[in-house]
């Protein structure tokens, strides 16, 4: 076990259930011998999907915590888990939420600025 993981072990099943209550539409799945967080995001086209995947990459780099990303036309699949612990940690749930935030920023139209707001 790496020293990075020794400070925080993988969450128990009860802890995973508690953390997952705060996420929207993320699946908790068994992948080989580890629990993971999985979600598919639907986008308008390949270019927007690539843009989203690149934003996730920047987020991952800023935290030095990297997901599995699969990009297809109109869809990006994301899997978060902590490889060194072979399971889920609180950071995985935080990254899942931040991934949702990126998706919302990318797909929700921005309200036009009115002159009064300036």
Would you state the pLDDT for residue 55?
98
Q: What is the 8-class DSSP label of residue 10?
A: P
Sign of torsion, CA 71 76 82 88? Answer: negative
- The predicted model scores a pTM of 0.85
Would you state the pLDDT for residue 104?
96
Profile the chain (118 residues) by mean pLDDT over runs of 10 residues: 58 94 95 92 96 98 97 97 94 98 89 50
Residues in the chain: 118
| Domain regions of the chain by residue span | 11-106
Would you state the pLDDT for residue 2?
43
Instruction: Write out the CATH class of domain 11-106.
Output: alpha beta
Query: Token pair of 51, please?
Result: 């843009």
* Of 95, 96, 93, 94, residue with least CA distance to 40: 96
**CA–CA gap between residue 117 and residue 110 (Å, rounded):** 14
* Of 80, 37, 27, residue with least CA distance to 56: 80
């Amino acid at each position: 076990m790496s020293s990075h993981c020794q400070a925080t072990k993988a969450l128990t099943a009860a802890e995973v259930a508690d953390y997952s209550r705060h996420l929207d539409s993320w699946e908790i799945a068994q992948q080989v011998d580890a629990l993971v967080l999985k979600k598919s995001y639907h986008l308008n086209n390949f270019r927007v999907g690539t843009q989203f995947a690149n934003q996730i990459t920047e987020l991952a780099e800023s935290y030095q915590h990297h997901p599995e990303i699969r990009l297809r036309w109109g869809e990006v699949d994301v899997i978060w888990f902590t490889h060194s612990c072979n399971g889920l940690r609180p950071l995985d749930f935080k990254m899942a939420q931040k991934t949702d935030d990126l998706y919302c920023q990318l797909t929700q139209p921005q309200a036009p600025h009115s002159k009064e707001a300036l």
